[in-house]
Amino acid sequence: MPRMLPDPTFYPSPAMAKEAPREKLAYVTLLTPGQNGRSDALGVVDTDPGSREYGRLVHRLDFPQGGNELHHFGWNACSSHLCGYAPNPHTERRYLIVPGTHSSRIHVVDTKPDPRKPKLIKVIEGEEVAERTGYAFPHTVHCGPDGIYMNALGTPDGDGPGGIFVLDHDTFEVKGAWERDRGPQQLAYDFWWHLGYDTMITSEWGTPNMVKDGVNPNLLLAGEYGHALHIWDLKSRRHLKRLELGEKEQMVLELRPAHNPRRAYGFVGVVLSLEDLSGSIFLWHRKEETGEWEAKKVITIPAEPADPDDLPPALQAFGATPPLITDINLSLDDSTLYVSCWGTGELRQYDVTDPFAPRLTGSVRIGGIVNRTPHSRDPGRPLNGGPQMVEVSRDGQRIYLTNSLYSPWDAQFYPDGIRGWMAKLDATPGGGVTLDPDFFVEIEEGLRPHQVRLQGGDASSDSFCYN
């Protein structure tokens, strides 16, 4: 049922969202690696420092099946519903839409009436997704002004093209494929938009057959994984331009556009350079004088030398640990960028007030392929995995991390097996980050944490209409 008044967690501008009450709960996907007899789940973590259960997993909603490979879930509605061309202000931010990349199932979870005990109310099977869209292997959810947007890595046979499809934000009906003219786009990964410029941006990873069994070294060395961005007209759904980043820049993943709708730029992480195993951040931007979109590299993070005996087989020949940039996040005021280096076990903080000249302002180490840096709560116990999914609170003061990337890739880079954990960092005024010694959630054996969503919204689940 529609609300009489707009949802109080919808904010016209990033500045207003930044002043919202702090989150008291975090939702985190808990996936089973393959078919291990366990069911996948959605965990609820207490994030209220005044609570006796602070930093604990307080509820687990078990799903009917395991092996879905749960990934980047999101809300059914958000602040973009206040935008003028497709307003839906009376829809609630209530349901979490949780895709299973391997199963192609879509799980709909109701967070009310008790946000600490959400309920699974609907499962859309992969066959329905394929029949209505032509796509399979859904991966990422973003709530748009006129519906729930989801991407898919490919087609039901595991090949390309990948693309975007839409669900109704009230009924969850699968409406169909989004693109009307896809141009040269074949590989897919993330997507985001600049609502103030009627522009969508998409990135590239690989087809399901290219990624589901781990990194294929032959494809990687041949430069076959994604190495470009794509610019689209958001309203006409037509491809406008391909932005080539360079064939040696492999796997173009998470997109983080500026939250201020008048700022026509954003950041994207590139996992690996074939030249030197470095990772990088590119800035895409619109030139005011011409209206053309361009991209340039603004951050390079080098690989770290390592003893081959300490490396997994996939990296021993290189004698180095690549940073493996697998997630990034941008604070709501567009001032601070966080970069997850899953390989080296480092989370980096950059001042991006000048987006063309990022400045490193903080760093924390935890986990890592070689270092296995412990958490401050238990300094004698090494941790595996590393900073992977990173989520930032609306006020920019708290940063949440989980350590599992993608089950087949976990096995390649951490062959001893990922033991799941979730950590929290606090941002220091003026720059810097520190681990919260009182917040460290250890996930039981057989489950791995991935995407985090914060109660009421967070830095990567909202887009805004006004500045």
**Residue 45 β-bridge partners:** 26, 57
Residue with tokens 């173009």: 252
Judge whether residue 296 has pLDDT over 70.
yes
The two structure tokens encoding residue 287:
């030139």
Is residue 155 within 8 Å of residue 171, measured between CB atoms? no
Residues 6+ apart with CB under 8 A from 460: 256, 329, 330, 391, 392
What type of residue sits at position 150?
M
User: Strands, E, within 155-289: which ranges?
Assistant: 163-167, 174-177, 191-194, 199-202, 228-233, 238-244, 249-257, 265-273, 279-286
Which CATH superfamily hosts domain 14-454?
A: YVTN repeat-like/Quinoprotein amine dehydrogenase (2.130.10.10)
Please state whether the predicted TM-score (pTM) of the whole model is above 0.75. yes
The number of beta carbons lying within 10 Å of the beta carbon of residue 216 is 15
Judge whether residue 2 has pLDDT over 70.
no
Query: Shortest CA distance to 51 belongs to which of 439, 399, 374, 395?
Result: 439
Residues 6+ apart with CB under 8 A from 370: 304, 306, 307, 310, 311, 321, 344
Helix (H, G, I), strand (E, B) or coil at 81: helix
How confident is the model over 315-366, as pLDDT tens digits? 999 999 999 999 999 999 999 999 999 999 999 999 999 999 999 999 999 9
Is residue 391 within 8 Å of residue 458, measured between CB atoms? yes
Model confidence at 467, pLDDT cuts 50, 70, 90, reads confident
Judge whether residue 5 has pLDDT over 80.
no
Query: Shortest CA distance to 302 belongs to which of 277, 281, 337, 267?
Result: 277
The two structure tokens encoding residue 416:
């001893």
- Provide the sign of the torsion angle of the four alpha carbons 317, 318, 323, 326, taken in this order: negative
Q: Averaged over 103-109, what is the pLDDT?
A: 98
How confident is the model over 135-186, as pLDDT tens digits? 999 999 999 988 999 999 999 999 999 999 999 988 999 999 999 999 999 9
Q: What is the pLDDT of residue 84?
A: 62
Phi then psi for 219, rounded to 5 degrees?
-65, -40
Where would I find the H helices in 163-233?
A: 208-211, 217-221
Q: What is the pLDDT of residue 7?
A: 86
Residues 6+ apart with CB under 8 A from 161: 154, 155, 182, 185, 186, 187, 188
Provide the 8-state DSSP code for 343: T
